[in-house]
Amino acid sequence: MAADKLRATIFDIGRVLIGLDVSRAMRDLGANLAFSPAELWTAIQNDPRWRDWQEGRMSPHDWHLHVSKRLGSSLSFDSFVAAWNQALDPEPLQSSALFAQLAKRYRLALLSNTDPIHVAYMEERYDFFRFFPARIYSCAVGASKPSPLVFREALRACGVKAQEAVFVDDIEAFVEEAKKLGMAGIHYRSAEELPAQLEEAGVKL
């Protein structure tokens, strides 16, 4: 893609900007339960309400009550929230200097499949969020990647056409979906390789 046509750079969050270790959260959630962290995570992901939670059709309190009832957990809401947020690494994967540089030339956006508990925690904790005026969360738009709806919402929020945006994600299927809509796509590999990947896609650093 011609570099002079790019006006927006859109990033996934988990495993691209913030490291994830779900087993940490599962250990805390399942401290008094007869589940291994892996078994607990499988049960949560396969829960019939998981999509509702990710797409904003359940409140944090309703999700806490639902999960507690299904698993037989007695964690308080505050303890549940603290455990849930343990999945997020305390230090971001990328330097804020990269985003400060990108923000001089491009509209920056976040596009993530995530939930209200993580959104509140991330926006308060991670300083780099200030470089991203457009933030598209599955729990806020009622749909999740790879739905075209969320990509179109990201483009709308950035005020650009698909051909003017590049999307970065660690899940290749999501990158391919963005490409189908006309966006440039980067299948994220590592923090060290990201600057070179951006430049290869036509992003000027």
Within a domain: 205: no
Residues 169 and 114 in one domain: yes
Q: Which of 167, 94, 163 is nearest to 134 (CA)?
A: 167
d(CA 124, CA 185): 29
d(CA 71, CA 97): 43
What is the structure's pLDDT at 1? Answer: 53
Residues 83 and 156 in one domain: no
Within a domain: 55: yes
Residues 117 and 146 in one domain: yes
Residues 191 and 124 in one domain: yes
Low-confidence stretches of the chain (pLDDT beneath 70): 1-3
* pTM for the model: 0.96
d(CA 34, CA 121): 28
**What is the H or E stretch that residue 82 is in?**
helix 77-84
Residues 64 and 126 in one domain: no
d(CA 182, CA 178): 7
CATH of the domain at 43: 1.10.150
Residues 154 and 70 in one domain: no
* Count of structural domains, the chain: 2
d(CA 11, CA 17): 8
Q: Which domain, by its residues, includes 63?
A: 22-88
The structure tokens 């270790």 sit at: 21
d(CA 124, CA 191): 22
Which residue, of 58, 88, 118, is where some domain finishes?
88
Residues 141 and 113 in one domain: yes
Residues 10 and 69 in one domain: no
What is the structure's pLDDT at 32? Answer: 86
- The tokens for 205 are 């650093």
